[in-house]
Amino acid sequence: MASVLFVTWDGGGNVPPALGIAAELRERGEQVRFLGHVQQWAAIEGAGFRFEPYRHARPWSPAEPAFGHGAELTIFEVFTDPGIGEDLLASVEREPAGLVVADCLLLGALAAADRAGLRRAVLVHTFYEYLASWSRGPVRRFAQDRGQDPARLWAAADLALVATAPQLDPSAGVAPRALPANACYTGPVVRVPDPPPGPPADGIPRVLVSLSTVHYPGQTGVLQAILDALADLPVTGVVTTGPAVDPGQLSAPGNCELHRYLPHDEVLPGVSMVIGHGGHATTMRALAWGRPLLIIPMHPMLDQPMIGQAVSEAGAGETLPTTAPPARIRESAARLLADGPHRAAAWRLGDSIRAADGAATAATRLQDLLSPAYQR
């Protein structure tokens, strides 16, 4: 039995794959604990894992503006924060870990693990193609100021788990341009019945609407446009606002229900489609259930436009800009609610995602690193 330390941050969609892989490791008898932001304590301990909060890391909350009007600087500071690395080294000094699994965006943690020579894996929770472009973007200056080279840190790890669908990730078709030698595609980390039940054939179709747990400029307005669009469709809208949007700021029509939070796996069996922002976790989960998507990316700097384009090109959904008026959203939603090739495409993607069993594949690769026979 080995000790595995997951180093994470409160970013929303990055947490479910870490928890899914950790649960698989625990089922196989490994000891697993987490290090993260203090507000993650309840959720991670609620999933049955020991949790240690950062003590020296910069404070961070997804409910605070992180994008637009210079707010990106705040989140860049989180990604490159040497305090997270300090907390990581202090944690393994108090309780040694046979393996560290660090979120790919936490360069401060990866740099500290690299200097200390810790056995480590990088958890990539999006397309590797986006991660490669991200490392060349505005965050690069912050990383360089702290002596961090993202691409080198990822390639220097013992393993890079790419927890996405390779048939959607552009990098899967252009290796070795973007993929380092240590990269392994696991498939998305989701737990869905195989085959999943389809939405009820009788009654009014249900549409799940979920944008993001992170605060983006204009997010409230986009949610209102979606609500206005659904008002004139024969559907029931199940809308989750997350911590960044107060439901009281929205005017919901009679056929829509507003929630701060709902577990998506409890809602997805009964819905016919999903309207989202292109976040990787929500998108892959919807596809795993075989549901087509209407994607409205909330920020051009993030992976959302790339994910929306990939889903659209695969024929499993459509993508609209944040400026789309209710009438245009309504037209797109109506097309995706109807029978058509987009449903077959979403179902095919779901078949491959479920077959990959991302949690099991990732856990097996991590256990290989824990083997006494492993040599770097």
- Comparing CA positions, the residue from 15, 7, 19, 25 lying closest to residue 364 is 25
- Which CATH number applies to 206-354? 3.40.50.2000
**pTM listed for this prediction:** 0.93
Among the four given CATH numbers 3.40.50.720, 3.40.50.2000, 1.10.260.40, 3.10.28.10, the one describing domain 3-187+357-370: 3.40.50.2000
Q: Do domains 3-187+357-370 and 206-354 have the same CATH topology?
A: yes
Domain positions in the chain: 3-187+357-370, 206-354
Q: Are 340 and 243 in contact (CB under 8 A)?
A: no
Tens digit of each residue's pLDDT, the chain (376 residues): 569 999 999 988 899 999 999 999 999 999 999 999 999 999 999 999 999 999 999 888 776 655 554 556 688 899 999 999 999 999 999 999 999 999 999 999 999 999 999 999 999 999 999 999 999 888 888 899 999 999 999 999 999 999 999 999 998 876 556 689 999 999 999 999 988 988 887 789 999 999 877 777 889 999 999 999 999 999 999 999 987 788 889 999 999 999 988 888 899 999 999 999 999 999 999 999 999 999 999 988 889 999 999 999 999 999 999 999 999 999 999 999 999 999 999 999 999 999 999 999 999 999 999 988 887 7
Inter-CA distances, 61 with 7, 39, 54, 66, 214, Å: 17, 8, 13, 9, 8
Q: Are 112 and 133 in contact (CB under 8 A)?
A: no
